[in-house]
């Protein structure tokens, strides 16, 4: 029987916990070191993205560790976007075909489930252990625990410690390290719609609600307790900005004017607004991910903005791909780690770009007539030619077999074609009589 | 009379010294703190890009501080590239029109001249002062000098301390700072051709010599002492790489095979090869450049790869643009600093991209028949329509009034047109009978 390594994972977040489950399942002994206390015992800090959207790519990765059934209990399907205009008018836009949906899930609940499963499989979690550095030559993780310094000698270290990864910061000090951090001009603030007086959801629960206002937007996702988590995305500076929402009156006026149907659903608006932190939104790119026997994974390697609902999922897919490579290469890590980073880097770059693009779509285009018409035409194309024309959103969200990088490439072709189709449409033309076969044919050129 | 500020500059390199001269000329009192000893007293460390190419944009910036005449004595004009093929055959390609040239200049000589001039104007230089941090709120520079820690309280601080800027590293710790460092897979090694036994240049002195070999190249620039500074650009890893040039025999074989006409000109090849360090090549982008009353300038804000010969010049142009803004805004720094970064950022980004592109041109395309034909056609277009069609290289190198960002944009249009022109040319077609007016006309669309 071959020797199975001891593996150290830094970070017991979503990706670190899933990775622990995967590796433990393969027969490794996994120790996970987490900076924070055990979130299953403490209550999670409010105001920091407490729910997330889970879709097919994420399900596929999670299904491999046998938690699919339990997970079904934790999610609320959202088959489409509910757009709220400034008059409070609603417009529902399906994300995909009938039966397809993204799913609202609590970050804390999912993380707890993943930790429970990893522990069940034999992984050991060590909380309040803060990573302070890594010796890549000797594969040693340096940790602090209750004012004591520890050296963990590992055979393999994974840095699953998120966007501000200590493991990556150590890598950044190595020679010729490629690194980029780019912030968008927008920040975010988490708010909420509590359940109604009758104890019901304040809005339709099977939808991701969006109040698109061109340069900013409000969104709301349903929670199991019948509340909604609400997030305002707004520039830090400028006329309509966090900088100018600096008094309760300013906040009150802004919400009443911009989101008139949402305002009455927020009894604690100003309290929440000033109690919750304003988060920033960063894209982090780094390379290599592997130095010696240490490997970055998830946000530590490639943090992205949240607008495609793929940040967590991309990290889960990292675990899925790594596991598949281990299958294919008989757990030969010397082969697998370089392949892992080569294979995943273009996909991580692609979803980073797509997530930035999708912000413009969410906050601006979804309210645009031409955009909606284009969506209809693309939905018809998909209906008529289900395998040849898959809209970009569907490729990313509902088709895990299409790599992010491939989806992005095909999406660009589709975009070029659709721009021409839309430009050629005359007012009064019936879009239903378009030559759909010809449109699809151009894609295959 | 208005109050003139005391200004602190970190870094007495090329850009810091020129900036000191500019600001002193405007009546400010400038103190410059430099990590290294005075290079006018010490000998500059070998093996670290000891000569540079100076062209029109640089001259324009230098002319403003009154050193043009002295500078003429320090440079050797290079009106074109001399391409050396593997058989030792030569092919001279002019860079521009008759009378246009780039100029080989010694980094040390130019830096000394700039420091002398700044001192003459009243600037004070403090050597062996290492910047360890900046307090942006209070505009304090922290320095180390001979094991003593100093705090310099300034009204304005400029970080002109190069690609690995300490001032920028302090900025990187501020909230939402955008930063990127990207290394190319190639490194460089500095070598030399000493003068011949008869005391003459070993090769034609009025040329930048290139031995293009697709994935790597050797270049040589003339020095006043009749030697050439020679630089090998080669991947770090792979078949033909620095990793594999690890014995004198390997170096010997490689040079003899790849650069047969250059090898005999290098009597100290293997000594130099193993004594000189292997440098890496990085592109650094950062933003903002201004935090409080502290501003980055030159490589500290935007380090680029050396393949367009514009790294130093872009920094000089920063000084020129800043000076112009101070003229236009009556030295109102609160207006000038934000304008400076807004104006220069797109130009710095453009030249960073162009410099990366030009590496492919230098090491590969200059040896290609089609490329040479295209150059001929573009030169003719320029001759016939001197103001309408200026080849990209000429815009960047010989036309300081065209911003880098503009040059890049026009260059892309030209590239698209020329690709189509080249594709339409049939074998046997005489390029001289092309419809040049029609080609230029397309640019104006």
Contact A175 B280 (CB under 8 A): yes
The answer to the question of residue B268 being in a domain is yes
Give B122's contacts (C-beta < 8 A, 6+ positions apart).
B24, B29, B30
Q: What's the average model confidence in pLDDT over A33-47?
A: 78
Q: What pLDDT, on the 0 to 100 scale, is given for residue A363? A: 86
All residues of chain A having their beta carbon less than 8 Å from the beta carbon of residue B177 are 181, 183
- From edge to edge, which strands make up the β-sheet containing A290-291? A124-126, A29-33, A6-10, A156-159, A294-296, A290-291
**CATH number, domain containing residue A137:** 3.50.50.60
Q: Which residue of B177, B182, B236 is in closest CB contact with A178?
A: B182
Q: What pLDDT, on the 0 to 100 scale, is given for residue A324? A: 98
Residue A366 · residue A393 · CB < 8 Å: no
Residue A340 · residue A290 · CB < 8 Å: yes
**Lookup: tokens for A372:** 């909606």
Q: How confident is the model at residue A62 (pLDDT cuts 50, 70, 90)?
A: very high
pLDDT at B445 over 70: no
Q: Name which of B223, B231, B264, B243 is nearest B363 in CA terms.
A: B231
Last residue of a domain, one of B259, B280, B301: B280
Q: Return d(Cα A320, Cα A188) in angstroms, integer.
A: 30
CA atoms within 13 A on the CB side of B241: 9
Q: Return d(Cα B331, Cα A264) in angstroms, integer.
A: 51
Contact B182 A177 (CB under 8 A): no
Q: Return d(Cα A21, Cα A19) in angstroms, integer.
A: 5
A34 and A124, same domain (yes or no): yes
Q: What pLDDT, on the 0 to 100 scale, is given for residue A100? A: 96
A142 and A32, same domain (yes or no): yes
Residue A13 · residue A131 · CB < 8 Å: no
The answer to the question of residue B429 being in a domain is yes
pLDDT at B44 over 70: no
Contact B180 A183 (CB under 8 A): no
Shortest alpha-carbon distance between residue A375 and chain B (Å): 32
Q: What pLDDT, on the 0 to 100 scale, is given for residue A91? A: 93
Contact A280 B177 (CB under 8 A): no
pLDDT at A368 over 80: yes
**Lookup: tokens for B373:** 């034909």
The answer to the question of residue B174 being in a domain is yes
Which residue on chain A is closest to B283 by alpha carbon? Answer: A178
CA atoms within 13 A on the CB side of A296: 32
| This prediction's pTM | 0.90
Which residue on chain B is closest to A184 by alpha carbon? Answer: B176
Q: What's the average model confidence in pLDDT over B414-434?
A: 91
A417 and A310, same domain (yes or no): no
Q: Return d(Cα B89, Cα B95) in angstroms, integer.
A: 19
Q: Which of B164, B180, B279, B303 best tests the A interface by mutation, with the highest count of A CBs <10 A? A: B180
B352 and B420, same domain (yes or no): no
A175 and A64, same domain (yes or no): yes
Shortest alpha-carbon distance between residue A348 and chain B (Å): 17
pLDDT at B48 over 60: no
pLDDT at A3 over 70: no
The answer to the question of residue A314 being in a domain is yes
Give residue-wise pLDDT tens across range A190-245.
999 999 999 999 999 999 999 999 999 999 999 999 999 999 999 999 999 999 99
> A386 vs A97, A227, B167, B282, CA distance in Å?
10, 36, 55, 46
Q: How confident is the model at residue A427 (pLDDT cuts 50, 70, 90)?
A: confident
- Measured between CB atoms, does B179 come within 8 Å of chain A? yes
A70 and A172, same domain (yes or no): yes
B213 and B325, same domain (yes or no): no
**Lookup: tokens for B393:** 């290289």
A313 and A407, same domain (yes or no): no
Give the total number of structural domains in chain A: 2
% of chain B residues with pLDDT over 90: 91
Q: How confident is the model at residue A367 (pLDDT cuts 50, 70, 90)?
A: confident
Q: What pLDDT, on the 0 to 100 scale, is given for residue A2? A: 52
% of chain B residues with pLDDT over 70: 97
Shortest alpha-carbon distance between residue B182 and chain A (Å): 5
Contact B181 A183 (CB under 8 A): no
Residue B230 · residue B360 · CB < 8 Å: no
- Measured between CB atoms, does A164 come within 8 Å of chain B? no
All residues of chain A having their beta carbon less than 8 Å from the beta carbon of residue B178 are 181-183
Residue B126 · residue B20 · CB < 8 Å: no
Shortest alpha-carbon distance between residue B176 and chain A (Å): 6
Give residue-wise pLDDT tens across range B307-327.
999 999 999 999 999 999 999
The answer to the question of residue B101 being in a domain is no
Q: Return d(Cα A85, Cα A259) in angstroms, integer.
A: 8
Domain span including residue B258:
185-280
Interior CA angle at B183 toward B180 and B188, to 5°?
A: 145
% of chain A residues with pLDDT over 70: 97
pLDDT at A110 over 50: yes
Which residue on chain B is closest to A180 by alpha carbon? Answer: B180
Across all residues in chain A, what is the average pLDDT?
Answer: 94
**Lookup: tokens for A155:** 């055979």
The answer to the question of residue B274 being in a domain is yes
B207 and B275, same domain (yes or no): yes
Q: What pLDDT, on the 0 to 100 scale, is given for residue B46? A: 44
pLDDT at A307 over 70: yes
Last residue of a domain, one of B264, B280, B296: B280
Q: What pLDDT, on the 0 to 100 scale, is given for residue B428? A: 84
CA atoms within 13 A on the CB side of B389: 24
**Lookup: tokens for A185:** 């001009």
- Dihedral through CA B438, CA B96, CA B374, CA B310, nearest 10? -110
B151 and B225, same domain (yes or no): no
Give B306's contacts (C-beta < 8 A, 6+ positions apart).
B49, B281, B355
The answer to the question of residue B84 being in a domain is no
The gap between the terminal CA atoms of chain B, to the nearest Å, is 52
B304 and B376, same domain (yes or no): no
Give residue-wise pLDDT tens across range A398-424.
999 999 999 999 999 999 999 999 999
Residue B216 · residue B235 · CB < 8 Å: yes
If you count residue pairs, one on A and one on B, with CB atoms under 8 Å apart, how many are there?
A: 32
Q: What's the average model confidence in pLDDT over A307-322?
A: 97
- Measured between CB atoms, does A280 come within 8 Å of chain B? yes
Q: How confident is the model at residue B47 (pLDDT cuts 50, 70, 90)?
A: very low
B160 and B222, same domain (yes or no): no
Residue B44 · residue B72 · CB < 8 Å: no
Give the helix, strand, coil percentages of chain A, each rounded to 5: 40, 25, 35
The answer to the question of residue B86 being in a domain is no
Q: Name which of A224, A204, A228 is nearest A75 in CA terms.
A: A224
Interface confidence, given as ipTM, is 0.87
Last residue of a domain, one of A315, A332, A359: A359
């Amino acid at each position: 029987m071959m020797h199975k390594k001891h593996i150290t994972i830094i970070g017991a977040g979503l990706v670190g916990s899933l990775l622990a489950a995967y590796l433990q399942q393969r027969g490794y002994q996994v120790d996970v070191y987490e900076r924070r206390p055990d979130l299953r015992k403490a209550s999670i800090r409010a105001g920091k993205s407490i729910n997330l959207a889970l879709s097919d790519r994420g399900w596929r990765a999670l299904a491999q560790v046998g938690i699919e059934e339990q997970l079904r209990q934790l999610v609320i399907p959202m088959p489409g976007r509910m757009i709220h205009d400034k008059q409070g008018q609603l417009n529902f836009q399906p994300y995909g075909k009938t039966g397809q949906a993204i799913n609202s899930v609590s970050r804390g609940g999912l993380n707890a489930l993943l930790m429970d499963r990893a522990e069940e499989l034999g992984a050991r979690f060590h909380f309040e252990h803060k990573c302070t550095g890594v010796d890549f030559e000797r594969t040693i993780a340096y940790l602090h625990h209750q004012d004591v310094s520890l050296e963990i000698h590992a055979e393999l270290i994974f840095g699953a410690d998120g966007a501000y990864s200590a493991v990556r910061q150590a890598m950044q000090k190595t020679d010729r390290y490629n690194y980029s951090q780019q912030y968008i001009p927008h920040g975010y603030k988490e708010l909420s719609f509590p359940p109604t007086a009758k104890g019901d959801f304040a809005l339709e629960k099977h939808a991701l609600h969006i109040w698109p206002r061109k340069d900013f937007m409000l969104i709301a996702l349903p929670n199991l307790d019948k509340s909604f988590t609400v997030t305002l995305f707004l520039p830090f500076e400028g006329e309509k900005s966090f900088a100018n929402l600096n008094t309760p009156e300013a906040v009150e006026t802004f919400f009443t004017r911009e989101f008139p149907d949402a305002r009455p659903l927020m009894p604690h608006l100003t309290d929440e607004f000033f109690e919750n932190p304003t988060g920033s939104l960063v894209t982090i790119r780094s390379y290599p991910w592997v130095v010696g026997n240490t490997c970055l994974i998830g946000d530590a390697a490639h943090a992205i903005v949240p607008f495609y609902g793929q940040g967590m999922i991309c990290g889960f897919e990292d675990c899925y791909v790594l596991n598949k490579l281990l299958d294919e290469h008989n757990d030969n890590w010397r082969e697998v780690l370089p392949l892992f980073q080569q294979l995943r880097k273009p996909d991580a770059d692609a979803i980073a770009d797509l997530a930035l693009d999708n912000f413009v779509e969410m906050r601006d285009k979804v309210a645009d007539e031409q955009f909606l018409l284009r969506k209809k035409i693309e939905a018809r194309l998909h209906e008529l030619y289900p395998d040849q024309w898959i809209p970009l959103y569907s490729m990313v969200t509902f088709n895990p077999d299409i790599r992010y990088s491939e989806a992005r490439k095909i999406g660009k072709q589709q975009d070029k074609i659709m721009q021409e189709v839309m430009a050629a449409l005359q007012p009064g033309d019936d879009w239903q009589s378009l030559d759909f076969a010809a449109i699809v044919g151009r894609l295959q050129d």
